[in-house]
Amino acid sequence: MSEETQTASEMVLRPVGIVRSEIKEPILKPDSDDPELQREFVDARKKVRKMRDKVAELVIDEELEGILDGIEDFSHILVLFWPHLIPDEKRSSLVRVHPMGRKEFPLVGIFSTCSPVRPNPVLATVVRLVERNGNLLKVTGLDAVDGSPIIDIKPYAPGFYPSEGMRTPEWMEQIQKEFS
């Protein structure tokens, strides 16, 4: 570990809220050795499609009064959350994977995937903001499990995210096509 990494090796995150969702367990389990993974992938696609229009709630800590002021002026927000149901031993064991556990996809580093199984599983999803009521946000399109700690929320402003000249590998395009 480099000296720079050592000085930044300890961080403390404090959740700002919690997710309330119909999703009660991870949609795709982080078990690359599971022979049932291909079937789980098909099931996951169905679940993701079904959940897209479901309303989830982001319950923000009441002690943070005022932190959401103005958020209702945005149609979409970026939610950063922690996948709390993934065991530590699963997170630390994966460095390279076949995306979605599919052997027809190349073996790539975990940072080349959107997998929730990562050294620091901070996940991010852009969601549609349906309504704000005090410290409660109602959103659609959230793929977080019920009880997931919310780390942060940011307004989604497309101009801040580059789109020109973006490229993705064919396997990622295939996954996105299958999930849409």
The domain spans of the chain are: 12-157
Give the highest mean pLDDT range of 6-10, 47-51, 68-72, 117-121.
68-72
Query: 135 versus 39: which is more confidently predicted?
Result: 135
CA nearest to 120, candidates 164, 77, 78, 151? 151
CA nearest to 77, candidates 148, 116, 130, 122? 130
pLDDT (0 to 100) of residue 59: 98
User: Which sign, positive or negative, has the C-alpha torsion 175, 169, 123, 71?
Assistant: negative
Who's near 124: CB < 8 A, 6+ residues apart? 78, 79, 80, 81
| Residues 135-164 pLDDT 10s | 999 999 998 899 999 999 999 998 888 878
Cα(151)–Cα(83) distance, rounded to whole angstroms?
11
Indicate the pTM of the whole model: 0.81
Query: Is pLDDT of 32 > 50?
Result: no
Cα(15)–Cα(150) distance, rounded to whole angstroms?
5
Q: Residue 134, exposed/middle/buried by CB under 10 A (0-12, 13-18, 19+)?
A: exposed
| Residues 5-23 pLDDT 10s | 555 677 888 999 999 999 8
12-157 CATH pick, 1.20.910.10, 3.40.50.300, 3.30.9.10, 2.40.30.70: 2.40.30.70
What letter represents residue 95's amino acid?
Answer: V
In the chain, the DSSP E strands lie at 17-20, 55-60, 76-81, 96-97, 108-109, 123-133, 136-140, 149-155
CB 142 within 8 A of CB 19: yes
Q: What is the DSSP string of 112-160?
A: GS--S-SSS--EEEEEEEEEEETTEEEEES--PPTTPEEEEEEE--GGG
